[in-house]
Amino acid sequence: MDKALVILSGGQDSTTCLLMAINKFGNKNVYAMSFVYNNKYRRDIECAKQICKELNIKHEIYDIGVLQDIAKSNDFEGRNLILISLAAIYANTNGINNVICGLAGNSSHPDCTTEFFENLKNTIKIAIGNNINIEAPIIKLDKSEIWEIADKLGYLEFIEDKTFSCWNRQDKHCKECLSCKMRFEGLSKYLKFKKAGDKNNEQ
């Protein structure tokens, strides 16, 4: 039986990946994993909890505060190297054959690129074995295309309401940080594109 583990931050990208996995594998075969640092409150993790509850997904949250202690910050390069490796180890020891991560390629981080991902995939095969398939289904998409996926799955409003992706604030989206800008510009680009498409279809 195919099962999938989704690394879920509670933001737009990983939640869209969760919806894609549910669509493909069925919610009984999908698991979510989130990470916190030294038990610190984060709005996106609260979102992840709520999302899994509503979608009836088994959700595990692990504290990886040691990484924050080592890097003296929770915003360090190479984070995805660790998170995806941890998820792959969890999947391998729990009989889950797919690991899905919401890497989005237009990020400025080197550990979000296709080059990083392809190399990590090979490394995990060498380190853990061939039975784990690692996927990054939205790595080549821009934000408007990620909104389009949510819409086509019938979850556009769900993503709008239930996910949180701000880097500056914990109470609401600041709409000024790069993460907010990409989220909201992507949404308005998609909605414009959709409206134009609807018009064309009417003619």
Binding interface with Zn ion (CB under 5 A): 166, 168, 174, 177, 180
> Between 59 and 173, whose beta carbon lies closer to Zn ion?
173
> Between 38 and 170, whose beta carbon lies closer to Zn ion?
170
Contact indicator for 66, 35 with CB cutoff of 8 Å:
no
> Between 37 and 184, whose beta carbon lies closer to Zn ion?
184
Nearest distance, CB of residue 183 and Zn ion, angstroms: 8
Measured distance CA(89)–CA(78) in Å, rounded: 17
Nearest distance, CB of residue 184 and Zn ion, angstroms: 9
Measured distance CA(198)–CA(196) in Å, rounded: 5
> Between 112 and 180, whose beta carbon lies closer to Zn ion?
180
- Which residues touch 131 (CB under 8 Å, ≥6 apart)? 92, 97
Nearest distance, CB of residue 5 and Zn ion, angstroms: 28
Nearest distance, CB of residue 136 and Zn ion, angstroms: 24
Nearest distance, CB of residue 56 and Zn ion, angstroms: 30
Of 20, 56, 51, 54, nearest to 34 by C-alpha is 51
Task: Please give the structure tokens belonging to residue 135.
Answer: 């996927």
> Between 11 and 137, whose beta carbon lies closer to Zn ion?
11
Nearest distance, CB of residue 117 and Zn ion, angstroms: 25
> Between 51 and 166, whose beta carbon lies closer to Zn ion?
166
